[in-house]
Amino acid sequence: MFRKTIFNDIIEKIKLKEENMEAKLKYKAKKIKIVFFDIDDTLRVKNTGFIPESIKVVFKQLREKGILTGIASGRGIFGVVPEIRALDPDFFVTLNGAYVENRKGEVIAKTVIPQECVESYIAWTKEAGIDYGLVGSHEAALSVRNPMISSAIDIIYPDLAVNPDFYKDHEIYQMWTFENVGDSLQLPEDLASALRLVRWHEHSSDVVPTEGSKAAGVAKVAEHLGLKPENVLVFGDELNDLELFDYAGISIAMGISHKKLQEKADFITKTVEEDGIFYALEELGMVEKELNFPQVNPEAVEGSVAKIKTNHGDLKIKLFPEQAPKTVANFIALSKNGYYDGVIFHRVIKDFMIQGGDPTGTGMGGESIYGERFEDEFSPELYNIRGALSMANAGPNTNGSQFFIVQNSSLPYSTKELTRGGWPEPIAEIYASKGGTPHLDRRHTVFGQLVDEASYEVLDKIAAVETASMDKPLEDVVIETIEVIDE
């Protein structure tokens, strides 16, 4: 018992530390004024060019919040693909920090490799029997073209010209090696004092000034803006992001990042395909999911439809499993198992709602498929507007089998009043024009919506039946069966 208690205390301390670290990171996020993104396998998948739609949302929301954005890439400005340029970032830190522009094309900083150094590098490549590339601010050239070089460079810069003398009439900011040597490749001592290798491909390394890095370029932007490192957040995935991760206030590694980078990261997010950037920024409270409101046009939403067949007509309802997965699964399973067959609407209140789903017909019974009461699923996308299908309960997290359909058709509130009260404008408009029960929001799980006028007519017909004590209809309103149609 004593050992178990000590073990539990240790586990709790670890959990507390994790929670504190998370809280600390979210606190640090409040100081962020600019976010820099690598391109390949960060903003886009290098091999396919895929960019998730969530990236557009990220740039839009950061801009709306007054947070600047920047690209920090080993690519040159001429290698920034149109889709990335269309995001309209505020700054471009390119060529591993050697050339920095703002969105207007104005040069913020640049580090030119001296021509004598370029010539010494070219002489060394010839001695070493390897090929090279030369990179200017807005174009580049190769010493030669062969299949190995094409396989390495064309995915980044297709159709580069062959011009071994490119340096004679262009400023050079970066160079490349092309070889089969791999990580064992080393510059000679005289070059290593001015240049260093940054591996980016199995057949190529970037050759950059010794003090050059993405971090140096980002620091120039921060200095230009009067910002500190604590105001900078960066995303990356490869070894040329190492110095950047050391510099920035917050560093986030993509899900497929190099192991060494992950070790330096403050947070490791998901992959590009999994919307990793949006996920990380949402966790930090810097962006929010753009809400969709399926009740505005339920017929256009993909998903299952439940047809509640009653002795007063049919109620056709679109279900919303994306927003309330556990609740919808419970309702569908009970419906398909015939659980609701022959069950009455035991509580009917005109200008409020109709309630059923209790096999005992008393409002005191009913069980879920989970064998116990289950938790609420409150979605910011679903509300108790007229025609909403919601779970009845006896308090928080007490859902079973009972449900109700909102029938109220009028409210004494305007759209403006409801919007000021915190309801999203599209929902406020529906409440104001068609009615509902907004006081039940976040108290009852909404998981479906009537989809056609015929169903609303049946709803109103049931709501108008004569009732006795406890709002129970004098003549039973019976659910004959519930048919679930997968669309």
What is the residue type of 261?
L
Residue 207: strand pairing partners: 175, 197
Of 338, 477, 330, give the one whose Cα is nearest residue 389: 330
Share of the chain above pLDDT 70, in %: 95
Give the pLDDT score at 327. 98
Give the pLDDT score at 167. 97
Res. 487 pLDDT band, cuts 50 70 90? low
Average pLDDT over residues 408-435: 96
Average pLDDT over residues 466-480: 96
Give the pLDDT score at 5. 45
Distance (Å, rounded) from C-alpha 354 to C-alpha 350? 8
Phi and psi torsions of 268, nearest 5°: -110, 120
Residue 99 pLDDT more than 90?
A: yes
pLDDT tens-digit series, residues 346-368: 999 999 999 999 999 999 999 99
**Strands across the sheet containing 68-72:** 107-110, 99-102, 91-94, 68-72, 34-37, 232-236, 250-253, 267-268
For residues 306, 311, 314, 320, the Cα torsion angle rounded to the nearest 10 degrees is -30
pLDDT tens-digit series, residues 376-390: 999 999 999 999 999
Tokens of 288: 């929010």
Give the pLDDT score at 329. 97
CA 467, 469, 475, 479 dihedral sign is positive
Of 342, 296, 310, 314, give the one whose Cα is nearest residue 457: 314
In eight-state DSSP terms, residue 296 is G
Of 335, 324, 344, 339, give the one whose Cα is nearest residue 388: 324
pLDDT tens-digit series, residues 428-465: 999 999 999 999 999 999 999 999 999 999 999 999 99
Mean pLDDT over each residue of the chain, to the nearest integer: 93
Full-prediction pTM beyond 0.85? no
The SS3 of residue 367 is: coil
Res. 193 pLDDT band, cuts 50 70 90? very high
Residue 12 pLDDT more than 60?
A: no
Residue 336 pLDDT more than 60?
A: yes
Give the pLDDT score at 9. 47
Distance (Å, rounded) from C-alpha 452 to C-alpha 10? 57
Distance (Å, rounded) from C-alpha 99 to C-alpha 135? 11
Cβ neighbours of residue 435 closer than 8 Å, sequence gap 6 or more: 385, 386, 408, 409, 410, 411
Average pLDDT over residues 463-479: 96
Residue 192 pLDDT more than 60?
A: yes
pLDDT tens-digit series, residues 13-67: 434 434 444 788 999 999 999 999 999 999 999 889 999 999 999 999 999 999 9
Residue 2 pLDDT more than 50?
A: no
Domains in the chain, start-ordered, CATH in brackets?
31-106+213-284 (3.40.50.1000), 115-209 (3.30.1240.10), 294-486 (2.40.100.10)
Phi and psi torsions of 414, nearest 5°: -90, 165
pLDDT tens-digit series, residues 208-223: 999 889 999 999 999 9
Distance (Å, rounded) from C-alpha 175 to C-alpha 197? 9
Give the pLDDT score at 1. 38
Distance (Å, rounded) from C-alpha 447 to C-alpha 468? 29
Give the pLDDT score at 6. 41
Residue 201: strand pairing partners: 204
Of 271, 240, 198, give the one whose Cα is nearest residue 36: 240
Phi and psi torsions of 371, nearest 5°: 80, 5
Give the pLDDT score at 124. 97
- Residues designated catalytic: 38
Average pLDDT over residues 143-163: 95
